[in-house]
Amino acid sequence: MKLILLGAPGAGKGTVAKLLTAIDGSVQISTGDILRGAVQAGTDLGKEAEGFMKRGDLVPDSLIMGIMEKRLQEPDCEKGFLLDGFPRTIPQAEALKELLAKLNITLDMAVDIQVPRDVILDRLCTRRTCENPECQAIYNVKSNPPQKEGICDKCGSRVIQREDETEEAISHRLATYNEKTAPLIGFYEKEGLLFSVEALNSDAVVNGVKEKLGLS
Ligand code: AMP
């Protein structure tokens, strides 16, 4: 499957992507994970992106398009991909449209995961992430804590609160989402690719997507 996952930070795009990859071997491409990995590795890309990310601002479109142009041509994308956190602006969506046409790739749909704001705020404030850039496993202090406090079950690294998941950065990220990313819903509706799901749990979203794609 070749999907875009839309939705505010904390809507569950990452979790849904992981569940969907298990169905047909598509790969999850998370620009946030790629950027956090670059920041931790101290690469030029990481150095450029770090300040924007800490403040909860979007990284410039040109940096993101550079990442995506390379990533979409890697061989593991042949089975399909789930774009998680990209595109985030109308210019990114337009550039993606051009890039896909150039690469002769057709999208199946853009899935908009709709979750109420109070649920999102609660989820993000209680979310914790493995600091190992290769792992980046997600936990939740209330609903899914690691077995040993502060230690990742999967790789044994520290589990931390992301710098952009303080209350202040979160409200800034949500405002940025409403201003810059929410307009993509209209963009993909016009393209005839939009599939909106109102769902509080990721399994319900996955079932909706499977049904729409005729996979269930
Ligand atoms: P995420 O994990 O998707 O919430 O992304 C974390 C941060 O990475 C965002 O707050 C942005 O600073 C940056 N980022 C991730 N994806 C993009 C994108 N497509 N365009 C611009 N900035 C991005």
Q: Is 53 in the pocket of ligand 1 (CB under 6 A)?
A: yes
Output the average pLDDT for the chain.
94
3-state DSSP of 188-208 = HHHCCCEEEEECCCHHHHHHH
SS3 of residue 5 by DSSP: strand
Distance between start and end Cα atoms, the chain: 14
CA distances from 78 to 24, 86, 93, 107, 195 (A): 11, 18, 21, 13, 23
Determine the distance separating the centroid of ligand 1 and the alpha carbon of 64, expressed in angstroms: 9
- Determine the Cα–Cα distance for residues 105 and 21; give it in Å rounded to an integer: 18
Report the pLDDT value the prediction gives residue 70, as an integer from 0 to 100. Answer: 95
% of the chain beyond a pLDDT of 90: 85
pLDDT in tens, 113-146: 999 988 998 888 999 999 999 999 999 999 899 9
In this prediction the pTM is 0.89
Give the tens place of pLDDT for each residue, 54-110.
Answer: 888 999 999 999 999 999 999 999 999 999 999 999 999 999 999 999 999 999 999
Q: Are 164 and 54 in contact (CB under 8 A)?
A: yes
Provide the pLDDT confidence category of residue 167 given band limits of 50, 70 and 90: confident
Ligand 1 atom 19: residue of nearest CA: 86
Domains of the chain by start residue, with CATH: 2-115+180-213 (3.40.50.300)
Check residue 102 and give its pLDDT. Answer: 96
Confidence band for 168, pLDDT divided at 50, 70 and 90: confident
The two structure tokens encoding residue 196 = 């909106």
- Judge whether residue 216 has pLDDT over 80: no
Predicted confidence band of residue 18 (pLDDT cuts 50, 70, 90): very high
Beta bridge partners of 148: 151
Is any ligand 1 atom within 6 A of the Cβ of residue 164?
yes
Instruction: Report d(CA 44, CA 205) in Å as an integer.
Output: 36
CA–CA gap between residue 110 and residue 93 (Å, rounded): 11
**Ligand 1 in contact with 9 (CB < 6 A)?**
yes
